[in-house]
Structure 1
Amino acid sequence: MGGNGRKDGRGGLGNVLSGLAVAVGFVLFLGGFAVGALLYQPYTVPTDSMVPTVKPGDRVLAQRVDGDQVRRGDVVIFTDSLWSNAPMLKRVVGVGGDTVKCCGQGGKLTVNGEQVDEPYLDIKHGMASDLPFEVKVPEGKLFLLGDRRGASLDSRAHLQEAGQGTVPRSAVTARVDAVAWSEQRMLERPAAFAAMPGGVSEPGPLKALLAAIVLGAVLVLGGAAYGPVAKLAARRGGTSRAGGAERERAGAR
């Protein structure tokens, strides 16, 4: 009597484990989405100022962060009324206390006298900027440039204003971690800024959240499939045994 549940896949240890897998899977799947919605915001890139890192029309996932968490090399979303009333997307190249200058030897950007290798740039004539500048970034401010230096309206367009084109850290609302829906890739932190004081930002939790969502989906599907698969296997096993018994009786006759 007690073995019937196990034979049709609806009882026993296998059924308990499959139910546990479904429960854990739902927690991981739904929890990953819920935490992701709290930590990240989607943003559609409207211009080509950050080509080739992100292109016009790309959808990016940006982690909600406080401006104090921003480091050099981060691609951030910010709103500054002196620039525009709409959110903008640029790369941080200087923080409070830095002296940012262009162009140094070989046409490269320098930060505190150190040349910065910027492999993410879309530039012409090998120059990191077609407009020479030198800015001492005030404390609590950020100096921001686009990756497509020849087409970006960034801090260089506001050099004559108070603060020489810098924006307050408080203007930053999020840091971009990934391009989604098109190329589906993570944005790496630039290695050139890693050796400078403060280093670069740690990777966000996006990879872990995606892994939790995928694992949750696998557990839900696998756990849900166990019962039907076990039941089908039991039926085939019963049919096979019945056929064997029938052959044995035929042989005896």
Structure 2
Amino acid sequence: MSGTGRTKGGRGRLGSVLSGLVVAVGCVLFLGGFAWGAVVYKPFTVPTDSMAPTIEPGDRVLAERIDGAEVRRGDVVIFNDKTWGDLPMVKRVVGVGGDKIACCDAGGRMTINGKAVEEPYLHSKDPASPTGFTAVVPDGELFLLGDERMGSLDSRRHLEDAGHGAVPRSAVSARLDAVAWPLPGALVGRPQSFADLPGGVSQPGPVTLVLASVALGAALILGGAAYGPVARAVGRRGEPAAPSPRVTADA
């Protein structure tokens, strides 16, 4: 065997080993990302338009499993409460224990402890509420409103209840981080309007890292698997053409 043949064979074996390693790493990232996401997040389909325009009816969302103690103002959460029908619901937290919520000021804005709050997630022409209200949130509870204030059935509807429309923190099971479907999806941001209030806003969950792990893993698997066919095709193009047989005439 010539030196050139041995070199090509060595390169081919090295390439196969490296491509296999790339596929293995891709599988770890791909499957690990899915496993991580399954532990940290639960999918949920939003059935109504009460959170429009942030979340439309039928949107498939990723909600981080959290304890109610972690909830901050501005979070969009999933919760169950018997007073509200004992069904999973999605609303935005606008007040926590001790807050005095009032609406609306002269500019049509909601106030928290006397401070007007801008709400960029609402439809641009909608007031913070079509009807005025005032509530004091009991300790350990949350005041929740839908982003579609004209029709959302939220804490305003339950103001006459014992909790003045609030629900216990323990009722919360998850916090929305992203809309996964329809594509291309979108992250559910933390409104900075609440950042200056005591407690600030919550930090996003690891949804970006989870999705990056899955996407990178898929790319490595496809790239590693494609190496063999591509290398063989390139090798065939680089081989010298077979000589044509000579034809001789009889004497």
d(CA) in 2 for partners of 1:192 and 1:57? 27
Cα offset for 1:163? Answer: 1.3
Cα offset for 1:189? Answer: 0.9
d(CA) in 2 for partners of 1:6 and 1:30? 34
The residue number in structure 2 matching 1:57 is 58
d(CA) in 2 for partners of 1:225 and 1:7? 19
Q: Which amino acid aligns with 2:100?
A: T
d(CA) in 2 for partners of 1:74 and 1:157? 20
Provide the aligned length of Structure 1 versus Structure 2: 242
How big is each residue's C-alpha offset from its partner over 1:170-190, in whole Å with a ceiling of 9 and x where there is no partner? 000111111122151111111
The residue number in structure 1 matching 2:235 is 234
Q: Which amino acid aligns with 2:202?
A: S
Q: Which amino acid aligns with 1:101?
A: A
The residue number in structure 1 matching 2:211 is 210
The residue number in structure 2 matching 1:145 is 145
Whether the aligned pair in 2 keeps the contact of 1:40 and 1:64 (CA below 8 Å) is: yes
Runs of 4+ in 1 over 4 A off after TM superposition: 1-6
d(CA) in 2 for partners of 1:5 and 1:230? 14
Q: 1:11 aligns with which of 10, 13, 16?
A: 13
Whether the aligned pair in 2 keeps the contact of 1:9 and 1:230 (CA below 8 Å) is: no
d(CA) in 2 for partners of 1:8 and 1:154? 69
Q: What secondary structure sits across from 1:144 in the alignment?
A: strand
d(CA) in 1 for partners of 2:64 and 2:71? 11
d(CA) in 1 for partners of 2:7 and 2:71? 58
The residue number in structure 2 matching 1:32 is 33
Is 1:221 aligned with 2:222? yes
How big is each residue's C-alpha offset from its partner over 1:194-236, in whole Å with a ceiling of 9 and x where there is no partner? 1211111111111111111111011111111112222222222
Unmatched segments (≥5 aa) in structure 1? 248-253
Q: What secondary structure sits across from 1:89 in the alignment?
A: strand
d(CA) in 2 for partners of 1:145 and 1:4? 72
d(CA) in 2 for partners of 1:67 and 1:231? 57
d(CA) in 2 for partners of 1:187 and 1:110? 23
Whether the aligned pair in 2 keeps the contact of 1:22 and 1:219 (CA below 8 Å) is: yes
Whether the aligned pair in 2 keeps the contact of 1:7 and 1:234 (CA below 8 Å) is: no
Over the matched positions of the two proteins, sequence identity in percent amounts to 61
How big is each residue's C-alpha offset from its partner over 1:82-121, in whole Å with a ceiling of 9 and x where there is no partner? 1112100100000112111111231100111111101111
Query: For 1:101-112, what aligned pairs fall within 5 Å after superposition?
Result: 101-112=102-113
Q: Which amino acid aligns with 2:101?
A: V
Q: Which amino acid aligns with 1:60?
A: V
Query: For 1:36-185, what aligned pairs fall within 5 Å after superposition?
Result: 36-122=37-123, 126-183=126-183, 184-185=185-186
The residue number in structure 2 matching 1:251 is none
Q: Which amino acid aligns with 2:207?
A: L
The residue number in structure 2 matching 1:250 is none
Query: TM-score, normalised to structure 2's length?
Result: 0.89
Query: TM-score, normalised to structure 1's length?
Result: 0.89
Q: What secondary structure sits across from 1:105 in the alignment?
A: coil
Q: Which amino acid aligns with 2:45?
A: T
Is 1:198 aligned with 2:199? yes
Whether the aligned pair in 2 keeps the contact of 1:62 and 1:178 (CA below 8 Å) is: yes
Whether the aligned pair in 2 keeps the contact of 1:100 and 1:112 (CA below 8 Å) is: yes
Unmatched segments (≥5 aa) in structure 2? 245-251
Distance of aligned partners of 1:4 and 1:232 in 2 relative to their CA distance in 1, 3 Å threshold: farther
